[in-house]
Structure 1
């Protein structure tokens, strides 16, 4: 924008002042040559005649144009235009020698447009340098924000940033640190609220269970006890979710193929229809107890809601991929984006048909993300659900696989 304005204003000034070009500027020189020649003839004492022409670099174009102009006027002369010590000199041949006189600087070769191009180039370079300097200062806070977002932990909290650098960066870092502090406080408050609610629910649930035992009608008593069991599972799952969210256990190398194989054997002894179809050796860095709980939740979810589950462990140079698919009805496309929400149920009317509080996938996602991985859930074709867990590979194997 600035360069465009400068170009327009320069063009307007050139148009208004209309500076002469080189050929037009020669006309006064022709008059000067004619005047000095006549003075040398009429009053030779008034001019200084030298034996040789002025030295220096000859201006070939100007010399040729001036000679042509003199010939056109009818006074041909082999004049010489030269430049010496940064001075423009005109040498006029006469009978006794040479008349040498200084002349004003003429427009440079290429005319005014050549100067205009140089001026615009310098303006462009200067404007770009200034613009890059200020753009760099303006972009630094955005770069800081981008880096901070990239380093957000699995708990959703921003790391504390150093308050150094230019004023803009320090202001941005301070704002991000303040945001991180408030976000962390809000998340801890939420976790405390969930934990307190789950803990405090246990007392009235226990009282309700005791009272339900005194219900005389057997059918009503069993219905009460079943509802109370569901409430108790919801409270326990809420407390478990808080523990997983705030867990600080150190990660360790885990042979994921062995872990999944052990889980499959365990669930099969509990009458779950789970089959291990592929088991590639692979090692992940995670908390063993948490990762075991995550895959147990996913496998139970597939075998319970999908009738039967199949699991495959695949490995590449960078990632470990665990694919769990089932033969169930899948999830409606408009609801599949909500599967990781706490207490989510595909069909509320079928809630009582299956045990659990609807927190299995939520807890599994928390654990996998903390290990640096991700979970993707999609419908199979033509039916069923596919749960895909991706974890980064670690190349340090545990000495004794558990």
Structure 2
């Protein structure tokens, strides 16, 4: 359940997830608003049909009055015309319907001065007995009634009751919960498709940036998509090319300087051998050796960020076991105590150099090292453990700075102070990172963390 929650949280935090939420909400809302407006339009049309029936009935009666007013008046008074009868004398036109009045005026003319008002069914059919009603007839089935007043063609005012069968508004399937659920699902699916297509150039850019971080010669990203995306991809390719050239030039300059220094340093050593004072000669030779080591480590640090080694699949436990055996062969107390049986995509030489630097650091400060590998969540973790003095918590962040040697209270430790820097740089060439933390019961834990292979 927790991994699923983390996946959903990561999806919601991504550009694709946010686009899905925005698009699905917008599409579903627009669909519901459209259905609501269509429903209101249908209701209005349905009511208009009923009014048209009233207008048609009124027009027919007005035509009869114009042709034979006496006979028509007698038929209306005797209720012999279905759908029309004489209005009750006590009714008053106190709340006319303006829309129906306009429709009647358009049909009968301005001279008729028609007015219309809906009448409650109880007033229109006062003698209806629900206990003696016909089969299937209820008060809800009674016709709708309107009080109509107009002047006929002879100028006589006529007051009529027009009633038409009630039109029942049918249930609408667009507002059905199942139909609404289908709209939401369709909106989500469409939003996912649009979001994936929209974020595809960004995912390509992300993959290219990740590839650039772990290799010196990545392939240029293919330029395509909308104009803004093409500009961003072209800019990234240009940046990638310039950074790569900068790394190469820096490495070449350092290599040239190191090579040029070898001759004068060798000549200087030969001359130091001729110093008659033995103690002074040895101190000078030691200083010269430290200088040569510093130059060599500086070149190594520059080359550590410019690894062109290809990535390959490596058995982590086998490599850790081999490194422990090699260290033991030269007299170091290094052991491999725990494995995880995982293969990972790394640069073997860079991975080995990273581990060797961490092992050397542990042996230098604690005299021994313990190697372990394991899986935590979606990460592969390789640990180099020691039982040394550790590092003060507030100085752990400075441990990876080049030429920063952290003492343990007894002076400066041996070395140039770039072992951890090189280890971290080598790890980054294959997408890993090095972390340091003090162990609860003393000692230091150096971890190499990388994503598990798919």
| Range class of TM-score, shorter chain | 0.5 to 0.7
Decide whether the 8 Å contact of 2:365 with 2:388 is kept in 1.
Answer: yes
Partner Cα distance (2:216, 2:377) in 1: 28
2:227 to 159, 167, 189: 167
**Where does the alignment leave 5 or more consecutive residues of structure 1 unmatched?**
1-39, 54-66, 101-135, 396-402
Cross-structure match for 2:434? 375
Aligned partner of 2:49 in structure 1 is none
Q: Distance in 2 between matches of 1:167 and 1:241?
A: 40
Contact 1:252 1:285 in 2 (8 A): yes
Out of 177, 186, 207, the residue aligned to residue 237 of structure 2 is 177
Q: 1:142 to 1:281 in 2, by over 3 A?
A: closer
How many residue pairs get aligned? The number is: 304
Q: Secondary structure at the match of 1:335?
A: helix
Deviations 1:33-86 (A, max 9, x none): xxxxxxx9xxx99xxxx9999xxxxxxxxxxxxx9xx95578999x965859xx
Taking structure 2 as the reference length, the TM-score comes to 0.54
Provide the C-alpha distance between the structure 1 equivalents of 2:443 and 2:425, rounded to a whole number of angstroms: 24
CA contact (8 A) 2:213 2:431 kept: no
Matched, 1:250 2:322: no
How far apart, in 1, do the equivalents of 2:281 and 2:413 lie?
Answer: 18
Give the match's secondary structure for 2:286: helix
Q: Structure 2: how far apart are the matches of 1:301 and 1:384?
A: 12
Distance 1:141 1:264, change over 3 A: closer
What is the match of residue 298 of structure 1?
358
Equivalent residue for 1:127?
Answer: none
Contact 1:159 / 1:180 at 8 angstroms: preserved in 2? no
* Structure-1-length-normalised TM-score: 0.60
Distance 1:147 1:300, change over 3 A: closer
Contact kept in structure 2, 1:195 and 1:238, CA below 8 Å: no
Alignment of 1:325 onto 2:378:
no
Cα shift at 1:296: 1.3
State the shift of 1:206 in Å.
Answer: 1.1
Task: Report the counterpart of residue 264 of structure 1 in structure 2.
Answer: 324
Distance in 2 (alpha carbons) for counterparts of 1:298 and 1:76: 95
Q: Distance in 2 between matches of 1:99 and 1:192?
A: 111
Q: Quick one: distance in 1 between partners of 2:273 and 2:411?
A: 24
- Secondary structure of 2:405's counterpart equals coil
Which deviations, in whole Å up to 9, do the C-alpha atoms of 1:176-235 show, x marking residues without a partner?
333323322222222223222322222222122112211222222221121211221222
Does the C-alpha gap of structure 1 residues 199 and 174 become closer, same or farther in structure 2, counting only changes over 3 Å?
Answer: same
Q: 1:173 to 1:287 in 2, by over 3 A?
A: closer
Distance 1:191 1:245, change over 3 A: same
Q: Could you tell me how far apart the structure 2 residues matched to 1:342 and 1:323 are?
A: 22
Residue 273 of structure 2 corresponds to: 213
Question: Is the Cα–Cα contact under 8 Å of residues 157 and 183 in structure 1 kept in the other structure?
Answer: no
